[in-house]
Every structure is written in C-alpha cells, then in structure tokens.
Structure 1
C-alpha cells in the first residue's frame, strides 16, 4: 500500500503476468457490448437512409452526422478519461448513447433521426479511446493483443447484425425500429450492470499521481506518423466501402454491402487472433496492410475484364474486408501501446480524430465519383497504410510481450 490511491505498483505486475480474473472478464463483457453497439449504431446511418421520411437531399447529412459526432466525442471524452478515470467515462458514455438510441428508435422525422445518431455516436466516439486504454492497462501482458483484437472485432458483428435485421424487416420502418430497439435495449441493460461491477483501471489510479513522463520528439513524431497514417487508411476505407458506397452507388444493395463487408471483417478478427499467437506485432502490421493494398488493387483487373460481374465485385469486397479487420487490429493494438498512461486516452483520440476529419471531407469529396474513381481513391488510401506499416517494420519497436512502461522507455 502507498500514496498512489491506496494501491501498490506491484499490482501492475500481477495484472501483466496473471490470468484473466473475474473483474477483467466482466470488463471484457461490458466493453465488448459497447463495441457491438458502436458497430450497430454506425451501420444505422447508411441503413436509415432508406427510411421513408429521409429525403434524398438529406442522405449526405445523415451519413456525415456519425463521423462528426464521433470526432467531437473522441476529443472531448478522451480528455475526460485521462483526467477523471476510465470507469467514470464508461458510465458517462453509456448514458449519452442510451439517450441517442431512444431518439433513433422513436424518430418520426429526419431531424430527430440525425440528432439521435449524432448523440449516440458522440458517446460511442468518446468510448473508443477509453475502451482501448482500459483494456491495454488492465489485461495480462500475454493476452493483451488477443483481447484488444477480439473485443474490438465485436463492432463488426454489431454492424453485420444491424444489416441482417434491416434485410429481414425489409422496408418496414416501424418493424426495423422494433428490432433495433429490442437489440439495443438488452445490450444497454447488461452493460449498465457489468460496468457498475468493474474496477477502475489500476494503472490509471497509480500513474495519475506521478509527473508526466516525456517522449523525445523524434519518438513522438514517428509514432504519430505511423498511427495517423494507419488510422486514415482503416477509418476511410471501412467507412467508404462498407457505409458510404452503398447509398451513393448501390442504394438497393446497401444492406447487403454492409452485411458482406462486416462478415469479412468479423472473419478477419478471428484470423487475426490466431495470427497473433504465431507472429510479432510488426510482422502482423506489415502483412495486414500489404494484403489490404493488394486486394484493393485487384479491383482494377476486375473492372477492366469483367466490369458487370456483381459476384466478383462483392467477393473482392468481402476479401478486402478480411484484411480491413487485420489492419484495424494492428492499429487497435499500437494506439494504446504507444502512448503513456497519463495521456493515453487523449493520444488515441487525437489520432482517431485526425482520420475522422478526413473521412468527413471524403463523404462530400467522393459524392460525385464514378465507381472506378471510388475504387482508385481507396487503393491510394491502402497504399498510404502500407507505406506506414513498412516504415514501422523497419524503424519501429516490437511491442509484444512488453509492459506498457517498457514500451514507452524504448528509444528508437
């Protein structure tokens, strides 16, 4: 016992080296449901563009409401998480997207719908950096990467479930609202119960009392270049391919595109967990972004040789979704590992907000794109991620099997 909130630093060693405890398991369940809702509600933006009271002229505003609110939520709540604690933030964000969910389910006009999406995504945007920080700080070192990948992969399942429910209910807005409302309500109740039972992050309690550790400028620049580049690639390609392309280019296929891409992403998360048991983080990152880049380039011969084959197009989209999740997994792991505890959540928020700002601009920038232009733009985004992954493979540090403190003591 000592002055650090009544906790001894020795507890961090037991967290890093021990098995997953009951409290850690409750935390995994709670934040997994949070990620499920994150994916579910993110998918609602494109899916609700087909609701009868949404005019075509307002589709762009429905789509942009989610990333705008996510960006603001990341930056606002990310700061609160570092200052007031992870558990406090979890309860705040739960309340925010709980109210947002009610507005969506009971919306009768475009303005209530947009307000509900925005409020829900504000809360979930704030929960993103908090979730990554909490899991990285509280999970055993030998399971940290696997837990981060497994938990965040639940977001893809949430989006796939939303798309499946939209397909099952057809064009019935009221039926969709009932299915969406029941799914969201059950998840919110379980989350409230489990979040009341989980502890605050021990690492945050201890290190909030210590002077901020410094990163030398060269380390910080390299980390930010890598993380922002990876985030731009994954945030934009997922959003543009899974969420935006349907309403813009294939309106009647929107639920199928959301479903197919997210099934691919879900499968990619399972593959990623098995890969992490065999290779290191730097290798995993390079393979993921190389695969995403190559599968995106594969759309070019498909367009040239069999441009009217919907099956070939959707198959490539599915395969790219697998690598999209692998790239997501690599980024999810590196974000909390490369920032010190005292500003881990805010650091993650800044990285993500950088990508979301470009995503918001891209929604309007790509609105008049042809399919060929759309795919070439996404290929360029994957190229950026591959270059960043290659730089990290050459110049970065390996983070696997190291404590968060050891990683931030590295000089490279």
Structure 2
C-alpha cells in the first residue's frame, strides 16, 4: 500500500488540481521575489546597513524554523497558512507606514518609522523565505513524474518574475513621483494583491500524500490522492540510481547553492547599491529580465537533457560569462549597454543554476526531513551572503567585487563537474529512489 499511493501520484494524468498546485507554487515564488526585493530597492533611499542585513538574518531564520515545523508537525498545507499570515502582516505594516509617511510628511529615515518598516520587511521575509523549502518539497512530492521537473523549474522562476515586476513598479513610480514612499506603497500593494489570489488558491489544495504516508496517516493519504484524479498514464521510469550517501549529496547541494545564491544576489541586487546607486533599480530589472526569460527556456528544455549535463552547462556557462564581466568591468562606465548585455547573459546562467538547485534539492533529500534539509542547505549561502554583503560594502573596486563573484562561480563549476562523474541523473526517477528512501543498486 505504501508504494501504491506514491505510484499513483507519479503516474496520474494532469488534472485541475495540478493546475491549482502549479498556480499556488508560482504565486508563492512571485511573492518571494516581490517581498525580498523591497529592502535592496529602498536601500539607496534609506542608506542604513542594518536595513539590508536584517532581512538576510530573517532569511536564515525562516529557512530553519518553518521547514522544521512542516516536516515534524504541520505538513505542507498548514505551514503555507502560517507563512502567508507572516508576510500578510508584514505587507500590511509596510503599506500602513507608507501611507502614514505620505500623509504626515514623516521621512522613512525617521528612527521609529525606520524600525517599524524594518520589522514589517523582516516579517515578510520570514514568511516568504520560510515557505521556499516547503514549496519545493510539496512540488516534488505531489507533481506527476512526467511534468515534475518542469514544474520544479517553472514555478521557482516566478521569483525572478516577482523581482522583475517589483523593480519595474519602482522604475515607473520613480519616474512619475520620484518618491521612496510612493515606491514602498506600490510594492506593498503589489504584494497584498498577490497574497489575496494566493489565499484563494491554497485553500483548495490537498495535503502532500507522501508527507502523510511518512507520518503513518495512510487513510488520509488515500483520501488526498483521489483529489489528483483517476486517469493513469504508464511511464518509462528510471529506478537505477548510483548509491551515494546523504552527506555526499548534501555537500554537493551546499556547493552549488553557495555559488548560485551569492552570485545572483551580489550581481543582481547589490552591485548597483555599492557602485551605481543611480542605476540600481534598472540593474535589478535588467538582471531579472535575463533570469526570467532563462527560467522559461529551462522549463522547456529540462525534460530533453540529462540533469548532470544541465548542471555542468549551467555553472560552466556562469563562470565564462562572469569572466567576460570581469574583463570589461573597468570600462563599463563608458559603455553600460555592454554591461547590461553581459549581466543579462550571466543572470540567465544563474537561473539555469537555480533550476539545477530546485530540481536536485527536493529530489535527492529524504521525505522525513526534506524541507528542513533544504533549509539547512540554504543556511550556508545565506550566512555567507550576510558576510559578503557586509564586507563588499568596504570594497572600493568594482573589479575586486566581480573577481569575488568569479571565484564563487568557479566553486559551482567544480562541484557540478564532480557530480557529473560521481553523481546521478534524476530525470523520470521516482523520488523514493532518487532520495535514497528505497535503495536499489545500479548505475546511471
């Protein structure tokens, strides 16, 4: 019985419930992109380092606490309700403070307002960051095998779409009003509108049947799996996976996470803050256009290329394109169009690297602690991001800044090359096999 239910999840045809699942994931990642962009976009107006560091600390906390609660107590659906409450309250606080500042003329840098604004952003970031590992786990556990990898690439790409929309909103409002308060109000309203749609969708979702089975709640799992439909499609599954211990899988994920997470954040959000403050919003927009387009390309291609080859291509491409930026960084002030072009290309490979992460993280970690372990993988890049942002603020040379990013890309390239020879592909592989829940000898 234990394997009959997951087998049905893998082989069931796409249904209306799957469409709701995809909509829920896409909207959730959109909220992540929108809310996590607020602090970097407003930093030039506030110019207070803690305003940047506090959300990073909240990111670290959210990635540990909520995934642990999801794995151990609440499951996937109830955790979503908690995290939505967190960033709903945070968005309301941000909107209220923006209205207060606009009506009273109180500047955002006024200490009580700045502290309350930071708290609102921290609550928002806690919620959206806390549900990222849960969303990845939910998608891996509930999507049919034929479309699973595409969903694991497509849905997280809406993080970039959210960041792109947020930066576009700020570009438009800045051109019209040139007011940080109006920018903040527009961003918070965007987040609240997205949240309203998300609540409607998530109330209709089933719980993860694999999580229910892990908790021994077989009857509940049998009930929930019927919501996915009854039409079954036969598949050519891959159940031959090279044996690899959990620690080896974990450190591979940590290495590529450090490489992709830090380079995306530093090049998309912070290089403008530190070296091109007048162009910061445009740089964020350009970077996320490149990433967003690449995400849709990756979703279309992922079923046609083996995951190990895709990983190697992504991180080698990122390393080559960052070398192009490094070679030209000292002349970009005279040719920003060249920088924008190279940045878009580099961010496209960053999105491919993000796709590698969103496929491998939930698929090679065990169900019992899947969300928590995904969060634990993210502890390293988040912690290093905090340190990197702090020390990068003291770098006077854009060349040194990009050189640091080059080293980070090289780390991902080395890790993906190692995995190419010692790891395994996860294409069309049931999660029970790729995660090591069921050990079956074989090679890929």
Instruction: Give TM-score scaled by structure 1 length.
Output: 0.92
Among candidates 16, 28, 47, match of residue 22 of structure 2: 28
TM-aligned CA deviation for residue 47 of structure 1: 1.1
Distance in 1, Cα, partners of 2:40 & 2:8: 44
The alignment's C-alpha RMSD in Å is: 1.8
8 Å contact kept, 2:17–2:205:
yes
Matched, 1:13 2:7: yes
TM-aligned CA deviation for residue 218 of structure 1: 6.0
Among candidates 299, 307, 320, match of residue 325 of structure 2: 299
8 Å contact kept, 2:149–2:303:
no
Distance in 2, Cα, partners of 1:167 & 1:90: 31
Distance in 1, Cα, partners of 2:31 & 2:411: 29
TM-aligned CA deviation for residue 304 of structure 1: 5.9
Matched, 1:282 2:272: no
1:130-157, Cα deviation, whole Å (9 max, x unpaired): 0000000000111111001100000100
TM-aligned CA deviation for residue 11 of structure 1: 2.5
1:160 alignment counterpart? 164
TM-aligned CA deviation for residue 175 of structure 1: 2.7
Q: Which runs of 5+ in 1 are unaligned?
A: 3-7, 211-215
1:5 alignment counterpart? none
TM-aligned CA deviation for residue 403 of structure 1: 0.4
TM-aligned CA deviation for residue 63 of structure 1: 1.4
TM-aligned CA deviation for residue 195 of structure 1: 1.1
Instruction: Give TM-score scaled by structure 2 length.
Output: 0.86
Matched, 1:187 2:194: yes
Distance in 1, Cα, partners of 2:192 & 2:355: 28
Among candidates 334, 337, 340, match of residue 311 of structure 1: 337
2:374 alignment counterpart? 348
1:114-143, Cα deviation, whole Å (9 max, x unpaired): 111111111111101000000000001111
8 Å contact kept, 1:397–1:410:
no
Among candidates 332, 338, 356, match of residue 330 of structure 1: 356
Q: Which stretch shows the higher mean deviation, 372-381 or 116-125? A: 116-125
Among candidates 221, 228, 240, match of residue 254 of structure 2: 228
CA pair 218-135 structure 1, distance change in 2 beyond 3 A? closer
Distance in 2, Cα, partners of 1:103 & 1:90: 20
8 Å contact kept, 2:41–2:167:
yes
8 Å contact kept, 1:166–1:176:
yes
Distance in 2, Cα, partners of 1:205 & 1:163: 39
1:263-293, Cα deviation, whole Å (9 max, x unpaired): 0000110111122132111111110000001
Aligned residues: 396
1:372-398, Cα deviation, whole Å (9 max, x unpaired): 000000000000000000011100011
1:209 alignment counterpart? 216
**1:8-407 pair list within 5 angstroms:** 9-51=3-45, 54=46, 56=47, 58=48, 60-83=49-72, 84-107=74-97, 108=101, 109-170=113-174, 171-209=178-216, 219-303=245-329, 308-369=334-395, 370-407=397-434
Distance in 2, Cα, partners of 1:303 & 1:324: 19
Q: Which runs of 5+ in 2 are unaligned?
A: 102-112, 218-241
